[in-house]
């Protein structure tokens, strides 16, 4: 196929049965969120570019990986690279801060990042996420993390170890930042090229560099700089999670790449995906809504979860359960009767299909055995008596059922 007629780089066609697994995943995620009191919010897949720029000036996914275009009239638009900024915008724009707090929301849909693709790193991928607005308390952080863990378990993965950290608040982070810069400044010549730049732009990112691990092992730990509130917040969160039976480990190097976070950050990966790919991640961002012209104090916590990665790590048979399905086969000359019977079953909410290619009975049965549990054979002796043969293909049992009782017969088996 000519290159210009192929799908764009880093995107994918999702065909059955994978599309079915996707759909099951979507339902599982949203149902679980609803059980926690989170309701679905749908926002556009594109926003005005400033919505993202406000939120992440030194964030890679907004700075270098943007899919942007100019609309007629000169409006600058960007395909959303993540869900949090859009939800914050919607929260502010729709005045949800006037609703009873906290406001619990979840979202599900495609995200776009113009990066170099790799396995499980796509230019269009699907994210599920949840956000809770209005509570400054660590209970909110805990609920969000428990929800994410719960979805992971519902997919058949055993409970993940949550990597947790706090990057402090506007009061204590500047002090930490200073001593971090001072520490790295003294070792400047030993740093890799990227870290030389990070030192200027985003010093916290120095901590998750994989090259200069030796240098960072002696770097100051933010934990020693937490203010009283931050210390209490982290301690209570860790306590709540372990009380709830979740395994938590503090990762002093976890800082995350989006720079709207305050205090809590967390991330979990999965062994089957390798260390480079996170299953879900998130944190607290108390200043985000304000940045988007929302009320002064609008606390929020949330996470984003990679659906393709979840499915890759999930049980192979997750989402593959078949519904009861009936194949209505016909003997030569009974095409019409079979066609009508299949429609009658469908109208009665039984998944059914008939042969549409005038195939031999042998071919119909072969096809039926691949896609159905039951086959109805229309025609011949049974038809003359007002009945049809019904065969259970897995048990290899066959019986005669009156035509007008077929629907009841299959309903009883549902």
Partner RNA sequence: GUGGAUGUAGCUCAGUUGGUUAGAGCACCAGGUUGUGGCCCUGGGGGUCGGGGGUUCAAGUCCCCUCAUUCACCCCA
Site for RNA in 389-408 (CB under 7 A): 389, 391, 393-394, 396, 398
Binding residues among 251-280 for RNA as defined by CB under 7 A: 256-258, 267, 269, 274-280
Binding residues among 18-37 for RNA as defined by CB under 7 A: none
Euclidean distance between CA atoms 113 and 118, whole angstroms: 12
Region from 71-79, 164-172, 319-327, 378-386 binding RNA, contact rule CB under 7 A:
378-386
Does the footprint of RNA cover residue 61 (CB under 7 A)? yes
User: Tokens 């956000």 belong to which residue?
Assistant: 131
Does the footprint of RNA cover residue 221 (CB under 7 A)? no
Euclidean distance between CA atoms 102 and 100, whole angstroms: 6
Euclidean distance between CA atoms 198 and 211, whole angstroms: 13
Smallest distance, RNA to C-beta of residue 182, A? 21
Euclidean distance between CA atoms 132 and 50, whole angstroms: 23
Question: Which CB, 237 or 307, lies closer to RNA?
Answer: 307
Out of 159, 201, 381, 399, point to the residue binding RNA (CB under 7 A): 381
Question: Which CB, 156 or 257, lies closer to RNA?
Answer: 257
Binding residues among 305-344 for RNA as defined by CB under 7 A: 305-306, 308-309, 331-332
Residue in 81, 105, 79, 82 with CA at minimum distance from that of residue 92: 105
Residue in 308, 319, 314, 315 with CA at minimum distance from that of residue 10: 308
Binding residues among 172-211 for RNA as defined by CB under 7 A: 194, 198, 205, 208-211
Euclidean distance between CA atoms 342 and 168, whole angstroms: 64
Name the DSSP letter for residue 272: G
Give the number of residues in contact with RNA, rule: CB under 7 A. 73
Neighbours of 8 (CB within 10 A): 8
Question: Which CB, 133 or 327, lies closer to RNA?
Answer: 327
Euclidean distance between CA atoms 123 and 9, whole angstroms: 7
Out of 26, 121, 177, 346, point to the residue binding RNA (CB under 7 A): 121
Smallest distance, RNA to C-beta of residue 366, A? 4
Question: Which CB, 209 or 227, lies closer to RNA?
Answer: 209
Euclidean distance between CA atoms 198 and 208, whole angstroms: 11
Question: Which CB, 83 or 168, lies closer to RNA?
Answer: 83
Task: Answer yes or no: are the C-beta atoms of 364 and 328 closer than 8 Å.
Answer: no
Out of 66, 80, 104, 125, point to the residue binding RNA (CB under 7 A): 125
């Amino acid at each position: 196929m000519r290159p210009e007629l192929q799908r764009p780089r880093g995107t994918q066609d999702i065909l059955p049965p994978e599309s079915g697994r996707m759909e099951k995943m979507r339902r599982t995620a949203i149902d679980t969120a609803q059980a926690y009191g989170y309701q679905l919010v749908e926002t556009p897949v594109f926003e005005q570019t400033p919505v993202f720029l406000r939120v992440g000036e030194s964030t890679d996914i907004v700075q270098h990986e943007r899919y942007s275009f100019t609309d007629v009239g000169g409006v600058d638009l960007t395909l959303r690279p993540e869900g949090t900024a859009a939800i914050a915008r919607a929260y502010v724009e729709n005045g949800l801060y006037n609703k009873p707090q906290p406001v619990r929301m979840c979202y599900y849909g495609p995200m776009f990042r113009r990066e170099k693709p790799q396995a499980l790193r796509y230019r269009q991928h699907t994210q599920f996420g949840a956000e809770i607005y209005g509570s400054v308390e660590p209970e909110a952080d805990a609920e969000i993390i428990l929800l994410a863990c719960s979805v992971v378990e519902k997919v058949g993965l055993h409970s993940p170890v949550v990597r947790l950290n706090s990057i402090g608040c506007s009061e204590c982070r500047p002090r930490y930042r200073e001593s971090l810069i001072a520490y790295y400044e003294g070792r400047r010549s030993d740093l890799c090229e990227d870290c030389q730049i990070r030192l200027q732009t985003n010093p916290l990112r120095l901590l998750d560099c994989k090259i200069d691990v030796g240098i960072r092992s002696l770097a100051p730990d933010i934990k020693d700089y937490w203010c009283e509130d931050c210390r209490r917040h982290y301690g209570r969160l860790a306590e709540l999670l372990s009380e709830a039976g979740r395994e938590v480990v503090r990762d002093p190097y976890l800082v995350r790449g989006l720079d709207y976070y305050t205090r809590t950050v967390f991330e979990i990966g999965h062994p089957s995906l390798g260390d480079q790919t996170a299953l879900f991640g998130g944190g607290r961002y108390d200043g985000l809504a304000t940045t988007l012209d929302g009320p002064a104090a609008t606390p929020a916590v949330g996470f984003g979860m990679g659906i393709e990665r979840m499915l890759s790590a999930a049980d192979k048979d997750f989402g593959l359960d078949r519904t009861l399905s009936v194949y209505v086969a016909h003997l030569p000359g009974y095409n019409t009767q079979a066609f009508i019977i299949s429609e009658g079953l469908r109208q009665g909410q039984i998944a059914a299909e008939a042969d549409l290619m005038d195939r031999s009975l042998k071919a119909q049965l072969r096809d039926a055995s691949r896609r159905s549990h039951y086959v109805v054979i229309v025609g011949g002796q049974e038809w003359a008596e007002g009945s049809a043969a019904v065969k259970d293909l897995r048990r290899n049992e066959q019986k005669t059922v009156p035509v007008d009782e077929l629907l009841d017969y299959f309903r009883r088996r549902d």
